[in-house]
Amino acid sequence: MTGERLSELLADMPLRIAAYDTVDSTGNILKRFASLGEPEGLLIVAEQQTAGRGQYGRKFFSPKGSGIYFSLLLRPKSDAAEATAITVIAAIAVSKAIEAIAGIPAGIKWVNDVICRGKKVAGILTEATLTSGGIAEYVHLGIGLNLYGGAFPDDIAAKAGGIFEREAPKDLRADLVAASVREFYALYSKLPNGNFMSEYRSRSVLPGRRILLTDEAGTRVVTAETIGDDAALIVREASGESKILTSGRCKIELI
Ligand code: BTN
């Protein structure tokens, strides 16, 4: 059972772990606890979500058997800008965890999709609940890992894949969650001073590639150039004009 193995693997960490079979969304459970004053370090894990949520209000396909879904409650001490840093370090942490456990290279598609063999294998959602003064009251870090491909509906099958090409002989769900959480905390403990952007850039799959960009100006092909220290993506339009993109305001697709 994932919960028991996970508790063993993370026994030395300041976490409280609750593992479920099926939930609507691990994020919904986490938010209920957070609003009751639960301190940082609550980890909610589920084998299946019936209403998994992705970025921009999209659904996150979360079937039983081929993935693992988890949410971590954070109460960062400084300002809300840390939500961006949390997204950045979560993407680094998950890609490092996949490399360590699955032994395959994992890259980051700006801003927070983890890519193996050209397909998205993990999605990350960072949601900050702010006080009236703009301080993060708490942050929900939600991560969905696709272990195996094959079960995706047609609309996402072309873009989504599994960390493993076929079912692994040993169930590695708990190992992947534990490694992701451990890698995350190693970086999170360096906030607000750590600089993670050089590692993030080195793992990024976009720079140098032609990508499909959708923003307020419409949908078109642009060339990704680099990612700035503020985690903005700099692209070049077909006209030659350079444009700075902020996450949440645009959609990027690999072509
Ligand atoms: C995305 O790719 O758009 C982000 C997906 C985030 C999914 C995770 S799974 C655990 C947590 N619970 C949710 O409902 N969503 C996040």
Residues 159/111, Cβ–Cβ less than 8 Å: no
Assigned token pair, 28: 């919904």
Q: Is 143 in the pocket of ligand 1 (CB under 6 A)?
A: yes
Q: Is 52 in the pocket of ligand 1 (CB under 6 A)?
A: yes
Residues 143/123, Cβ–Cβ less than 8 Å: yes
Quick: pLDDT tens for 223-248: 999 999 999 999 999 999 999 998 87
pLDDT at 155: 86
E strands of the chain, at which residues? 16-23, 42-49, 67-74, 107-109, 113-116, 119-130, 136-146, 210-215, 218-227, 233-236, 242-245, 251-254
Structure confidence at residue 106 as a pLDDT band (50, 70, 90): very high
Q: Is 140 in the pocket of ligand 1 (CB under 6 A)?
A: no
Higher pLDDT, 1 or 37: 37
Q: Using CA positions, which residue lies closest to atom 7 of ligand 1? A: 144
* Pocket perturbation via mutation, ligand 1, pick of 32, 43, 50, 62 by most ligand atoms within 8 A of CB: 62
Residues 242/223, Cβ–Cβ less than 8 Å: no
Other beta carbons less than 10 A from residue 128's beta carbon? 21
How remote is the CA of residue 27 from the centroid of ligand 1, in Å?
8
How remote is the CA of residue 119 from the centroid of ligand 1, in Å?
16
Q: Which residue has the tokens 């971590």?
A: 72
Cα dihedral across residues 73, 78, 81, 87: positive or negative: negative
CA distance 229 to 233: 10
Average pLDDT over residues 87-97: 97
The atom of ligand 1 lying closest to the CA of 27 is 12
Please check the confidence at residue 254 and state whether its pLDDT lies above 80.
Answer: yes
Domains and CATH numbers, the chain: 2-202 (3.30.930.10), 206-254 (2.30.30.100)
Classify residue 168 by burial, with Cβ atoms within 10 Å: 0-12, 13-18, 19+. Answer: middle
The atom of ligand 1 lying closest to the CA of 70 is 10
Between the alpha carbon of residue 100 and those of residues 178, 183, 194, 238, the distances in Å are: 11, 10, 22, 39
pLDDT at 83: 79
Structure confidence at residue 97 as a pLDDT band (50, 70, 90): very high
Eight-state DSSP code of residue 38: P
Structure confidence at residue 52 as a pLDDT band (50, 70, 90): very high
CA neighbor of 112 nearest in space, from 138, 84, 136, 140: 84
CA neighbor of 137 nearest in space, from 222, 36, 211: 36
Stated pTM of the model: 0.95
List helix spans (H) across the chain.
2-9, 26-35, 82-102, 154-157, 173-188, 197-203
